A and B are shown apart, each in its own frame.
Chain A
Amino acid sequence: MEKDQDKIINDVTTGEYKYGFHSDIEMEQLPRGLNEGIIRAISTKKNEPSWLLEFRLKSFRYWQAMKMPAWANLTIPEINYQDIIYYAAPKQKVGYTSLDDIDPELKKTFDKLGIPLEEQKHLSGVAVDAVMDSVSVKTTFKETLAESGIIFCSFSDAVREYPDLVKRYMGTVVPYTDNFFASLNSAVFSDGSFCYIPKGVRCPMELSTYFRINAANTGQFERTLLVADEESYVSYLEGCTAPMRDENQLHAAIVEIIAENNAEVKYSTVQNWYPGDKNGKGGVFNFVTKRGMCRGENSKISWTQIETGSAITWKYPSCILRGDNSTGEFYSVAVTNNHQQADTGTKMIHIGKNTKSTIVSKGISAGHGQNSYRGLVKVLKNATGARNFSQCDSLLLGDKCGAHTFPYIEVDNQSAIVEHEATTSKIGEDQIFYCNQRGISTEDAIGLIVNGYAREVINKLPMEFAVEAQKLLQISLEGSVG
C-alpha cells in the first residue's frame, strides 16, 4: 500500500509543464555581464533621461558593495552575475504604434499562451500589458482606460510621458538600498508596467501584466509601479511563464504599490515560471521584492498569490500600514513539487492607529519540494488598536517533501491583538479512497482535495482567473500522489 501511494505521488508530480516552448524571434541583446557600460547601454537603448541613468548608476554602485543574503531556508546554487544577459528584446521598430508592427511570431507566442494581443479577442474586461524578456510588447485597452484618466502603460513609456509621476513615486516604497536583489533591479531594470488611477476613479476593468521570458541566458528585471490616488480602486493581476531550459534563469523584479486616502488595490499573482524538470534541473529563480504602502487613511492593499512555478521562489509581498485605519491582506498558495523550493510569506508593518492585517498562507509540498512560510507582523509604538490575524497551513503529499514555518512577531503597543494559527496535514489515503468510492479517480480526487484546501485563497482571485488557477494547481501536482 505504501508502494501504491508512492506511485500516485509520482504520477501526480510528474505532470508536464505546458508553457515550456521557445519562440524563434529575432532578438536584440547586450553582451553578457554587468558593469557601468552595460547599465549606460540599457539606458541609451531606452532613450532615458539623465536622472534615471543617475538612479541606475547609484543603485549599481550600492549593489557592488553588497553580498547576496544567505538567511533563507533555501539551497541556491551560486549565481554568476557576470554570466547573465541583462537586456534582450524582440527586434522591433521603436514604439509599437499598431498591432501590424508586431512580429507575427510574437503575436503567435502570446496567442499560444492564451494572451491574445488583439483587444477584440481578449477576455472582456481585462487590459493587458504583455512583456517579453526586457521590453513591453503591447498594452491593450490603453485608450479605453485613458477616457477615465487611468494611465496604464509600459514603464518605459511612463518614464517618457509621465516623468513627474514616476519621479514622485519610484523607489519610495522599495528604495534602491532595500536589499541585494532590489538594488540589482534598480540598476538594470528594463521594463515593466506603470499604472496610475486618478482620484475618485474605480478602474472599470481588470488590469494585468503578462511576463514571458523567451531568450536564453537572460535575466528578467522588471519594475511595476502602481499608484492609486484618493478614493480610487483597482484590481491588478500578473501572470508569468518561461520556456523549459536546462540552465537556471534569474527573475528579480520590484513591485511598488501606493494607496492614498480611501484607496483600495487588489494585486493578484499567478506565478507559473518554468519550475525545472523532475530532477531539479533548470527552472527560474524568482527573487522578487513586492511591497505596498498604505499611505492614506482607510486605504487597503490586498495581495493574492498563487505560486506554482519557479525552481526557487523567494519573496514576501508586504504592506506598510502607515495611514490610520488602513488594511493589509496577504493570501497565498505556494506549491513546491519535485525539487522546487519556496521561502515566501509577508511582512505587515503596523504604523498607523487601528490598522488591520490578515495573513492566510497555504503551502503545498509534494515530491522533494521544500516549502517555507516566513512572515513578520510588526506593531509599532503608535499603532494603537492594531489587529492581526495569521493562519499558516501546510499540506504534504508523500513523505519526501518538507514544510517549515518561521513566524516573527514584534509588538510595541500594548493594545495590539495579534493571533497566529498554524496547521500541518497530509493528504490522507482515506480522503482519496473516499473519493474513489464515490466514483472519482485518484487524480481528480487530489485536484479536488488540493483545491478545497486552497479555496479560501483562490476565492480572492478575480473570477476570470480563479478557474485558471484551479486548473493550474491541479496540473502542477499532476502525477504527485498514488
Chain B
Amino acid sequence: MLIIKDLKVSIEGKIILKGISLEIKAGEIHAIMGPNGSGKSTLAAVLAGRDFAEVTEGTITYMGKNLFDMSPEERSKEGIFLGFQYPIEIPGVSMVNFLKTALNEHRKHDGLEPLSASDFLKIMREKKELVEIDSKLANRSVNEGFSGGEKKKNEIFQMSILEPRLAILDETDSGLDIDALRIVANGVNKLKKPDNSTIVITHYQRLLDYIVPDVVHVLYDGRIVKTAGKELAMELEKKGYDWIKQEVYQNGIA
C-alpha cells in the first residue's frame, strides 16, 4: 500500500529525515517509536502533504501512485487520514458542517452522490456510538474549547466517518488519561478492517498495549535504526531509548 524509499527531508535547511525506507502492506499496523526530535512527526507531515517539510530525495508510492503528485486534499480523498498531534480549532464551523463537507468531497471523488443532511446525521449518530464520543461534541464548533482528550477522541471520530485506507495517528496518545486512551484505542480497533493499514506514531509503549502492532520501527536522529515485532516496544518501555542510542553509536551508524 505504501512504499517509502530513501526519503530525505529538511525543514528550513535543517535535515530532519536522513534516508528512510519502509513498506506497509494492506492490513498491517506499524508503530513508529522514538525519542523526541527524532523526526516522527515530520514523517507524518510529509505523508499528509504539509508543505513546510521539503523533500530533497527519495520516493513515496501510495497505492501504486507517486504520492508527491497528489495535493493534500487528493491524498485525503484517496484514503490517507492524519490524526493530528495538535488538532486545530475552527471557531464557528460546526462539526456537522465540517464533516459533511469533507465526506461529500470524498463521495464526489468516488463518483457518489452527496449525502443529504438527514442521511449524514444518521451516519454521525452511528459513528458517535462506535467511538464513544459525547454526542454534545458533535454539535460544537470544530475542536473549539475541547479539552486535550476531547480533541483526540474527535480525531478518531472524524476517522470513523471518513473510513481511511491508511490512517496515520500522530502521538494520538499524548496527553490522554487512561480512560481516554482506552476509548481512543478501542475506536481504532473497531475501525480496523482486513485491508486497511495504520501507522501509529508514539513516544510511549502504553498505547501499544491496546493497539497491537505487526511491526515496530524505532526512529532515531532521522533514521530507522531498528525494526522488529511487537516485542520491541516492550523492550523499549523497559529499557528506555538510551540503549538504542548506544547501539547506534557502537555500530557507527549515526
**Residues of A near any B CB (own CB < 8 A):** 1, 4, 428, 430-431, 433-442, 444, 448-449, 451-456
Contacts and interface: CB of A to CB of B under 8 A. Distances in A.
A466 to B, nearest CB: 13
Contacts of A441: 73, 105
B92 A438 contact: no
21 contacts: A4-B51, A430-B88, A431-B90, A436-B72, A436-B73, A436-B76, A437-B48, A437-B49, A437-B73, A438-B76, A438-B99, A438-B102, A439-B76, A439-B105, A444-B101, A448-B97, A449-B90, A449-B93, A452-B94, A452-B142, A455-B93
Interface string B83-95: 0100111111110
B71 interface: yes
A428 B88 contact: yes
A438 B81 CA distance: 7
Interface of B: 48-52, 71-73, 75-77, 81-82, 84, 87-94, 97-99, 101-103, 105-106, 109, 141-142, 158, 162
Contacts of B162: 438-439
Nearest to B101: A440
Contacts of B87: 434
A448 to B, nearest CB: 6
A439 B106 contact: yes
B73 A440 contact: yes
A300 to B, nearest CB: 25
Sorted nearest first, the 3 A-B pairs with minimum C-beta distance are A452-B92, A452-B93, A436-B72
Contact of B91 (A435, A439, A452): A452
Contacts of B49: 436-437
Contact of A434 (B71, B84, B94): B84
A452 B72 contact: no
A441 B109 CA distance: 12
Contact of A438 (B94, B98, B109, B141): B98
Contacts of B52: 1
A448 B105 contact: no
B109 A434 contact: no
Contacts of B88: 428, 430-431, 433-434
A326 B141 CA distance: 33
A255 to B, nearest CB: 29
B72 A448 contact: no
A435 B99 CA distance: 10
Nearest to B89: A431
Contacts of B76: 436-439
A438 B93 CA distance: 14
Nearest to B88: A434
B65 to A, nearest CB: 17
B73 A448 contact: no
A273 B134 CA distance: 45
A452 B141 contact: yes
Contacts of B48: 437
A442 B81 CA distance: 17
Nearest to A442: B73
A433 B101 contact: no
Given A1-B52, A434-B84, A448-B90, A439 B77 contact: yes
